[in-house]
Chain A
Amino acid sequence: MSNIVKTKALTKKYHGFAAVDGVNMSIEKGDVYALIGENGAGKSTLMKMLSGLAAPTSGEVILFENKHPEVARFRMGCLIDSPALDSRLTVRDNLEMFSRAFGCHKEGEVDRILELVGMKANANKVIKKTSLGMKQRLAIGIALLGSPDFLILDEPMNGLDPMGIQEIRQLLKKLNAENQTTILISSHLLDEVSKVATRYGFMKAGHLIQELSNEELEEKSKTCLRLKVSDTAKAAMVCEKELGTNNYEVIDAEYVRLFDYVDESAKVVTAMVRGGVEVGEMVRVGESLEEFFNNLMTAREEQ
């Protein structure tokens, strides 16, 4: 797999305050990488540095394995912050103008984009008379001009109605599946982003605190019984011999996670007691992406 983005100790400081601090991240071809974090976590600043809108204070950005990112940026499409459109031109004129600016103007390109983002019926509307949702669709359309290999989308679902969100999600999935388009996306709609993402990067206070693949996140957010036991080795034995399952995980010297018998807690306690294991605590846990994110942020704050 080739690297689309690689950053080395990427840092951005504003008047001494580190908005992004020493971020090392890599995005592989075909990834849909979701950047998740609270407001002010540094997501937009990181995206701005990748797209050349902000200069890093220190560190390095390598795009498409090219050490000169400005050369590689013509293969990217961006939507950063709010839609940046020429408010006096029509939807079609905006696409025509940007297709010329990006050097990808050809017959049918604008119509293809209008079709993709569902704006054909509104092609002749002047931007200042369109809704935020329409502007957002057009901004996504501009990012798609010239079929870029890498898309940076900062909060692309902002202002879209539920139908619009669904359509854009389908579009991103299609681009990723059919064209192997690599996507870096940030969104506050965590459940929505989890429907398209294949990898996640969690940011807090300018730091990339954790990176996970979809599989790893699914694994972490599985519903299970978390038991605080007197002896984890004995508890493991009970799981295998008494309960007949290998689907457990010893977390540390005190805790075990059991992924089976989630709805049969009484049976688990009985088996443990019978095996000479004292159960100090038993909690049913299961995290959605949102819960996982909240717990991660809380854990980080406690540290």
Chain B
Amino acid sequence: MLNAMRASFYKMFRDKAFGLCLIGTAGWALVVIMAQVLTSHARGIEDVSQLANRWYGFIGLHVIEVPLIISAVLLFSGEFRDRSWKLLIAKGISKTSYFLSKLVSMLCLTVILSFISILTLAICNVILLHATMDAAYVGNVIKFFLGETLAHFSIAVLVIALICIIKRGEIASIISLFLMVFGYVMLSGVEKALSLGEVITDFWAFSQTAFVEFNGPVAWGRILISFLGYLVICSLAAIAFLSRKDID
């Protein structure tokens, strides 16, 4: 498995798409914060510095999810498209090891993209929104980064499992983006229909970011339980799908 991971990292860092993903992530974060600033008057916010602590407004615009889904598809679905993953299986690497190597790479990618997004937001906050860069601010940024990264691990596991199950990057990305936009609404409907309260949506992968506040607490326990749940369920499903079929 370690060899498969080494290969996966080598490929990720040599792929030109990886550089584009990093630039795209920073660019998307910049677009989101600029949109917040430019529409502040229309939304009745006279002093833009009021936006400096409204991090949920930025994160709520999928500042990490969108680059994460696109990057995952760009970097990890190619092996199924080119069928190059069969060479690893033919060399005796188990499908479980193969999936786990992709999963670890995906979690690392999440950390990297989360870092870039939040760093961009933090810098823009200081430059554009005149946030005071004191110890409290830096502490909040670090806590926010760790919380958001953990919150996005659930999404990362879900997306990589979808890529491994569907094996077609474009379809996996459409489904992931659909779940990102409509998943919460659909699950809320199910909860209401079955009178379940918020049992499902509380653990929905794309809802976990709601439990991370910039100036407030982070629901570490809830986010961690959600991540572990997705880790187990999605991993088992992906491994079962990968093992089910012969490789063409």
Name A residues whose Cβ lies closer than 8 Å to a Cβ of B: 48, 51-55, 70-74, 76, 78, 80-81, 84-89, 93, 96-98, 100-103, 105, 142, 152
Contact = CB atoms under 8 A, between A and B. Distances in A.
A102 B247 CA distance: 18
B3 A100 contact: yes
Given A84-B82, A85-B82, A74 B4 contact: no
6 contacts: A73-B90, A73-B92, A78-B87, A78-B91, A80-B86, A87-B82
A89 B14 CA distance: 7
- Which interface residue of A73, A81, A101 has the most chain B CB atoms within 10 A? A101
B14 A93 contact: yes
A59 B87 CA distance: 23
B246 A48 contact: yes
Nearest to B85: A84
Contacts of A87: 78, 81-82
Given A73-B92, A101-B87, 5 more contacts: A74-B91, A76-B90, A78-B91, A86-B11, A105-B6
B198 interface: no
Given A53-B246, A87-B78, A80 B90 contact: yes
Contact of A101 (B3, B83, B94, B246): B3
A97 B3 CA distance: 10
B79 interface: yes
A101 B93 contact: yes
Contact of B11 (A54, A74, A97): A97
Interface string B96-137: 000000000000000000000000000000000000000000
Question: Which 9 pairs of residues, A with B, have the shortest CB-CB distance?
Answer: A73-B92, A101-B7, A54-B246, A51-B90, A78-B90, A103-B3, A100-B7, A53-B247, A100-B6
B4 A88 contact: no
B17 interface: yes
B7 to A, nearest CB: 3
B10 interface: yes
Given A74-B91, A101-B6, A86 B17 contact: no
B195 interface: no
Contacts of A142: 87
A35 to B, nearest CB: 16
B86 A89 contact: no
B7 A86 contact: no
Interface string B3-40: 11011001100111100000000000000000000000
Contacts of A84: 82-87
Given A71-B92, A74-B92, A100-B3, A89 B15 contact: yes
A102 B90 contact: no
B89 interface: yes
Contacts of B81: 87
B171 interface: no
A96 B10 contact: yes
A55 B88 CA distance: 16
B221 to A, nearest CB: 37
Nearest to B14: A93
Nearest to B2: A103
Given A100-B3, A100-B7, A101-B3, A52 B87 contact: no
B34 to A, nearest CB: 31
- Which interface residue of A48, A97, A102, A152 has the most chain B CB atoms within 10 A? A97
A86 B10 contact: no
Contact of B87 (A54, A74, A98, A100): A98
Interface string B158-202: 000000000000000000000000000000000000000000000
Contact of B84 (A72, A86, A96): A86
A105 B3 CA distance: 9
Given A74-B91, A84-B83, A84-B84, A98 B246 contact: no
Contact of A86 (B6, B82, B94): B82
A84 B81 CA distance: 9
Nearest to A14: B246
A227 B84 CA distance: 55
B79 A54 contact: no
Contacts of A71: 92
A72 B87 contact: no
Contacts of B87: 78, 84, 98, 101, 142
A152 B90 CA distance: 10
B7 A52 contact: no
A98 B88 CA distance: 8
A86 B82 CA distance: 6
Contacts of A103: 3
Contacts of A53: 86, 89-90, 246-247
Given A84-B84, A86-B82, A73 B15 contact: no
B86 A72 contact: no
